[in-house]
Amino acid sequence: MHAEIVRLGLHQVDIKIVNQDAMHVLQWRRNLLWDEVLLDGKRQAHSSGFVGREKVYGLVFDADADGQGGTQVMLLLDPSTEYGNWGHSGQRISGIRLESKDGPIVSYGTLDPQALQKPATFADWMKKTMGMEWGN
């Protein structure tokens, strides 16, 4: 299974997923009173309310008619606003991660496993937080 983030915004995420010979489009949409997850244009899950909406969704790709088999994946979202990119590319959600039992398929921002690693040295911390590198 291979996935690629196609569109990433504050209220919408589109992910292209290729599983064997089939291609799917996984979409997350945030509306005023509800969030929804769509697979190939069909609603798979939703969460409603003003606050405390669901941020973890479980999905199964390519199951048979009886619901057996298929590939299980988990979609995790951090819908808070990413503050580092207000000017040029518009606002985005802070993080997204699509994961199977073998590990992350695609991830971005705060939910990227590399973003969770702590820097080993002060120079690594400066590079990660401020984009600064020390010369030799």
For residue 64, pLDDT beyond 70: yes
Q: pLDDT, tens digit, for every residue of 89-117?
A: 667 888 999 999 999 999 998 888 776 66
For residue 85, pLDDT beyond 60: no
Mean pLDDT over residues 7-28, rounded? 92
- Residue 136 domain-assigned (yes or no): no
- Residue 91 domain-assigned (yes or no): yes
| pLDDT given for residue 97 in this prediction | 94
| pLDDT given for residue 7 in this prediction | 93
Q: Is 15 exposed, middle or buried (0-12, 13-18, 19+ CB in 10 A)?
A: buried
CA 65 to chain centre: 28
| pLDDT given for residue 71 in this prediction | 84
Percentage above 70 pLDDT, the chain: 84
Q: What is the mean pLDDT of the chain?
A: 84
- Residue 129 domain-assigned (yes or no): no
Instruction: Provide the whole-model pTM.
Output: 0.75
| pLDDT given for residue 86 in this prediction | 55
- Residue 92 domain-assigned (yes or no): yes
Please enumerate in sequence order all residues whose Cβ is within 8 A of that of 82, keeping only pairs 6 or more positions apart, or say none: 91, 92, 93, 94, 95, 109
Query: What's the rounded Cα separation, in Å, for the pair 10 and 69?
Result: 34
Provide the domain limits for residue 105. Answer: 2-111
Q: Check residue 84 and report its DSSP letter.
A: G
Per DSSP, the residues of 96-120 read EEEEETTEEEEEEETTSGGGGSPPS
Question: What is the number of structural domains in the chain?
Answer: 1
CATH number at residue 75: 2.40.128
Q: Name the pLDDT band for 41 (thresholds 50, 70, 90).
A: very high
- Residue 26 domain-assigned (yes or no): yes
Q: Can you tell me whether residue 127 is helix, strand or coil?
A: helix
Per DSSP, the residues of 27-54 read EEEE-SSEEEEEETTEEEEEEESSS---
- Residue 63 domain-assigned (yes or no): yes
For residue 133, pLDDT beyond 70: no
Query: What's the rounded Cα separation, in Å, for the pair 43 and 36?
Result: 7
Query: What's the rounded Cα separation, in Å, for the pair 93 and 110?
Result: 9
